Amino acid sequence: MNAKQNAGDSPWKDPDDAPELTDEFFERATLYEGAQMVRRGRPVAETRKVQVTLRLDADVLAGLRETGPGWQTRANAALKQFLAKERRRAS
């Protein structure tokens, strides 16, 4: 059987017994635009990033982290800038 057990409360028959529509109800609701379900959360990036393991000197990592939230994004941007510079130099 593919159906989820306990997938929800038993259906109500009388409109007077309908559950109250609270903020929590709407936060948990599945949203649709026509027949298409609207995906929640962060939108899928055009170019996805790849998770890697990279060994850095402790002082380099500490310095990056000291720059605050978003340090990984800034490190990625710095590496891109370095690669662009190296490509120009090699041409």
Closest listed residue to residue 67, CA positions, set 80, 55, 52, 77: 77
Q: pLDDT, tens digit, for every residue of 6-50?
A: 566 666 677 787 778 889 888 888 888 888 888 778 888 888 889
Predicted local confidence at residue 60, as pLDDT? 96
Predicted local confidence at residue 48, as pLDDT? 87
pTM (two decimals): 0.53
Dist CA 72 CA 49 (whole Å)? 11
